[in-house]
Structure 1
Amino acid sequence: MKTTILRAVVALSIAAAAVMAPTAANAYPDQTVAVASPSVVGPGGKTTFTSSRPVFQNDEDVLISITGINANGITLASVAPQTNTSLRSKAVSGSLRVPLTFPQNASGRYDVTFTGARSGVVLRGSVTVSGAPSSPAKGGLAVTGFDAASTTGIWLAGAGLVVAGSAVVAGAAVRRRRRRTISV
């Protein structure tokens, strides 16, 4: 009986840890990602890639490489590059803030790599171009993961598992004491 209760407590603890692990893992942002805002634009639209914190050296040149359909037509600010690997920007105070304008014939997913010329730091991001040529899409970042309201149930379930586990452990301790008292 003791081993059954102990196994139940261990199983409940492992289940609670498995449920809570993704929440803890998402607590820290990925420092190797450049975020596009908006993440979906129309052909001819504009997006701006940023970093969550300074990751490059102060005022470092940042080399930009873009992969996607008609990527050679992408412009940085108002200057059209001759190739998609010749784009450069500056990391102002170490932070990334790079606006890109897509050509009217852009479509599909574009993968963008930002590399610090001195530090060698690499950030990656992507943007999707879809729809008919129009003005840039309004919006912001895609909603991913969980927010505080949607994880309330998980937290309550985890707390319930902890309370149930504590009750099982307390009950086992009481039974052990009673057995010792009766045997003596």
Structure 2
Amino acid sequence: MKTTIIRAVAALSLAAAALLTPTAANAYTDPSAVSVTPSTVAPNGTATFTTHRPIFDGDEDIAISVTGVAAKGITLASIASETNDSLRTKAVGGNLRAQVHFPANAKGVYTLTFTGVRSGVVLHSSVTITPVGAPSAPAQGGLAVTGFDAGSTAGLWLTGAALLVGGSAVGIGAVVRRRRASHD
């Protein structure tokens, strides 16, 4: 019975450690890693997305996915794309520099995802398309922001780690107490 509890505590500790270890697939990327110039573009305009330091592997291909109204009309380097996730560019020395041209019927916010084909590095950015003469600040109100970001889940991770440490301490304490009681 004593070894069963010890084995159970050890197994739980290993499982928790495996869950708390970050992996490349869900690693956090700095939202400021990609800058967009300008951040607000008129319809039929162009925005340039760049990184200030090498993020990708050397000169690897970068797949670009765009989500937004009329996203299929977006072009890259004057080449029209069939679908919104078929755009590609190439990193130069690990740096991103992609000029994205938005169609005349573009409007609203566009979310872009840049994925290194070889490295698997994923970066996100967005740009707002504002018609000429419209206010550059987005309207207040609308749908509520839902979901989690990395900052709001840090407390959950810390709480889970504290519970894991506390549970391990209780389990070890119970084992020590039983051993002492059996030796007396």
TM-score class, shorter = 0.5 to 0.7
Q: Where does residue 130 of structure 1 map in the other structure?
A: 130
Q: Which amino acid aligns with 1:45?
A: G
Helix, strand or coil at the partner of 1:103: coil
Helix, strand or coil at the partner of 1:99: strand
Tell me if the contact between 1:32 and 1:123 (Cα under 8 Å) persists in the aligned partners: no
Q: Which amino acid aligns with 1:63?
A: A
Q: Where does residue 59 of structure 1 map in the other structure?
A: 59
Q: Does 1:30 align with 2:27?
A: no
Q: Where does residue 26 of structure 1 map in the other structure?
A: none
Q: What root-mean-square deviation, in Å, do the aligned CA atoms of Structure 1 and Structure 2 show?
A: 2.0
Q: Where does residue 90 of structure 1 map in the other structure?
A: 90
Q: Where does residue 105 of structure 2 map in the other structure?
A: 105
| Aligned-pair CA distance for 1:30 | 2.8
Matches within 5 A, 1:9-28: none
Higher RCO, Cα 8 Å, sep 6+: 1
Helix, strand or coil at the partner of 1:123: strand
Unmatched segments (≥5 aa) in structure 1: 1-28, 138-184
Tell me if the contact between 1:64 and 1:87 (Cα under 8 Å) persists in the aligned partners: yes
CA distance in 2, matches of 1:65, 1:46: 16
CA distance in 1, matches of 2:103, 2:119: 31
Q: Which amino acid aligns with 1:74?
A: I
Helix, strand or coil at the partner of 1:47: strand
CA distance in 2, matches of 1:67, 1:37: 18
Question: Which structure's CA Rg is the greater one?
Answer: 1
Helix, strand or coil at the partner of 2:47: strand
Q: Which amino acid aligns with 1:119?
A: S
CA distance in 2, matches of 1:84, 1:117: 17
Structure 1 residue ranges, 4+ long, deviating more than 2 angstroms after superposition: 29-33
Report how many residues are paired: 106
Unmatched segments (≥5 aa) in structure 2: 1-28, 137-184
Q: Where does residue 176 of structure 2 map in the other structure?
A: none
What is the identity percentage for the equivalent residue pairs of Structure 1 and Structure 2?
54
Question: Taking structure 1 as reference, are residues 110 and 31 closer, same or farther at Cα in structure 2, changes over 3 Å only?
Answer: closer
| Aligned-pair CA distance for 1:55 | 0.4
Q: Does 1:70 align with 2:61?
A: no
Q: What is the TM-score normalised by the length of structure 1?
A: 0.55
CA distance in 1, matches of 2:84, 2:58: 24
CA distance in 2, matches of 1:31, 1:126: 10
Helix, strand or coil at the partner of 1:43: coil
Q: Where does residue 117 of structure 2 map in the other structure?
A: 117
CA distance in 2, matches of 1:44, 1:63: 22
CA distance in 2, matches of 1:53, 1:83: 29
